[in-house]
Structure formats: C-alpha cells, structure tokens
Amino acid sequence: MNLPDPCAHPLGSNPGASNPKGPHPHDGIRGDRLALLACSDPKILADLLMPWAETERTWLRRPETGLVMVQGRTGGTGTRFNLGEMSATRCTIRLTACGSTGVGWVSGRNAKHAESIALTDALLQSPSHREEVRAKVIEPLITIRQTELEQAAALAASTRVEFFTMTRGE
C-alpha cells in the first residue's frame, strides 16, 4: 500500500472536514495519526513509547470515561439519526519542557491507552521529538496496521464465491 505521507493512516482522511475555515495542511495528517493510535494495540503502543515514558507532563484533563452518542446516516448521505451510545475515554496533557499539547480519545474504558495517545500526539507536535517519534512509533504502527488490513482482505478473498451462469438449450 502506497502512503503519501510517512505518518498517514492507511484508512485515509478527510482534511478540513471539521474546520469551518477550510482545510489546514496538517488537519488530515493529525486526524489520521490519532485514528491510527486509537486503533493500535495498547500494549504495543506502550512498548513503543517506553523511551518517552518518563517525559514530564502536566495534566490539562486527566483520563475520564463517559458516554458519546454515535450517529449514523441512511445510505451514508441521508439525514442523521442517533444510533446509540458508546463509552469513550479522553485526556489532554501538556509537555512541561516544550509546551506541546496532546489529546487522546479511545473507545472503551482504557485510560492508559488514552494517555499513551495524548503523549504521542504531544510529542509529534514538538519539533525536537517529531522525527524520532515518527520513525520509532508511527511508522511501526502503520506497518502493523497495513499487515492487519492485508490479512483481513486475504481472509475475505478466500471466502469469495464466484457465480456464473450457463445458458441452456443454445
């Protein structure tokens, strides 16, 4: 799978979708990174972040779990409707040394995973850490995610049934 940016998420993006002032050059990339981090295995992410585990940080919002309303659209483009609620955990941190702020949202109740996402987000916004975090955290996660998607595609392809018709009497 060819990715335009080394930090892009394999599932694609919609840059500027939530920005009323129009697309910002980094909106889609950051959103893709956050999506990749939220989809990652919490243990693998924590292991990849070990070199930065002791980074000094200030809590702007400690991990908190709550409910969010999930909305859907009929046919993907119709009127919105409330599908139901799901639990989500969020947190926000600021790195003490450089002042970078990171946010972490994850479905479910895993506070450590949300904290890991926030730390990674803050490190990626710090010019002094950005390249190293891309190389040692984001790129391995992209590789893992691509492998997972390829395995899922191969499994789906192995169950594919091809139907054909035969003409009778001609």
Q: Per residue in 44-90, pLDDT tens?
A: 999 999 999 999 999 999 999 999 999 999 888 889 999 999 999 99
3-class secondary structure, 66: strand
Q: Please report whether residue 8 resides in a domain.
A: no
Q: What residue numbers bound the domain in which 88 lies?
A: 27-148
Measured between its terminal Cα atoms, the distance across the chain in Å is: 45
Q: Please report whether residue 167 resides in a domain.
A: no
Extract the tokens encoding 35: 């999506």
Q: Please report whether residue 22 resides in a domain.
A: no
**Residue 28 phi, psi dihedral angles, 5° rounding:** -65, -40
Q: Please report whether residue 112 resides in a domain.
A: yes
Our count of domains for the chain comes to 1
pTM for this entry? 0.77
CB 113 within 8 A of CB 45: yes
Q: Please report whether residue 13 resides in a domain.
A: no
Binned at pLDDT 50, 70 and 90, residue 169 comes out as low
Q: Please report whether residue 43 resides in a domain.
A: yes
Q: Please report whether residue 37 resides in a domain.
A: yes
Tens of pLDDT, residue by residue over 6-51, are 333 444 444 444 444 444 444 578 999 999 999 999 999 999 999 9
Euclidean distance between CA atoms 27 and 11, whole angstroms: 15
